[in-house]
Amino acid sequence: MKFSKLIGWTWILIAGIAGCDYQLRAPDFPVGTIEGYRPVYASPAESNIIFIGARQLENPGKIYVVSKYLLINEKFKGIHVFDNSDPSNPVPLGFLKMVGNSEFAVKNNVLYADHLSDLVAIDINDWNNLQELSRTEHQFWSQKIPPGSDKYFECVDDTKGIVIGWELAVLNNPKCFR
């Protein structure tokens, strides 16, 4: 008797799941133009981590205070570094160029950050002499899918370089959806 109830409930569950498969399909792809995401590419040569002169904030992200420093992420480009000894007057020291960067944290003068599809650890005891301590490659942790969901996007073309971010754009006949 119990076995037959289990089979009955199993069939009900299968029928319920089968009835919901419409949520698993992508919508029809548009013909013509539609707003969606376009990948932003960089060449491998442009992807080196370097500390350069200070620059203006354009698209700030995360903010972090460590020791006497104020760090502000520039989405997908790197990290602004300020001397924050006087919080009422932070002094720009430079910009840590890390294409594709969107997340970072600091512990014991080690900056942990995403760089392209990798996680890097950088000794920041001396901003003018940064040392990469380690790099963990994550081939599946990448920028190859745009942020959010329910959006059309231009499919990634690996021949154009490394995807370092995404921009909203008007697309012509997109072939990808998330």
So where are the chain's domains? 27-178
Low-confidence ranges of the chain (pLDDT < 50): 18-24
Token reading at 175: 């072939």
Helix then strand count (H, E) for the chain reads 1, 13
Q: Residue 24: what pLDDT?
A: 46
User: How high is the pLDDT of residue 60?
Assistant: 93
Which pLDDT score is estimated for 158?
A: 87
Residue pair 177/148 in contact by the 8 Å Cβ criterion: no
Q: Considering the entire predicted model, what is its pTM? A: 0.66
pLDDT at 44: 75
Residue-level pLDDT at 129: 93
Could you list the beta-strand ranges (E) of the chain.
33-42, 50-52, 60-66, 69-74, 78-83, 91-97, 104-107, 110-115, 118-123, 131-137, 152-153, 162-172, 176-177
| 69-75 contacts, C-beta under 8 A, 24 or more apart | 69/93, 71/104, 71/106, 71/111, 73/101, 73/102, 73/103, 73/104, 75/102, 75/165
pLDDT of residue 162: 81
124 within 8 A of 115, measured Cβ to Cβ: no
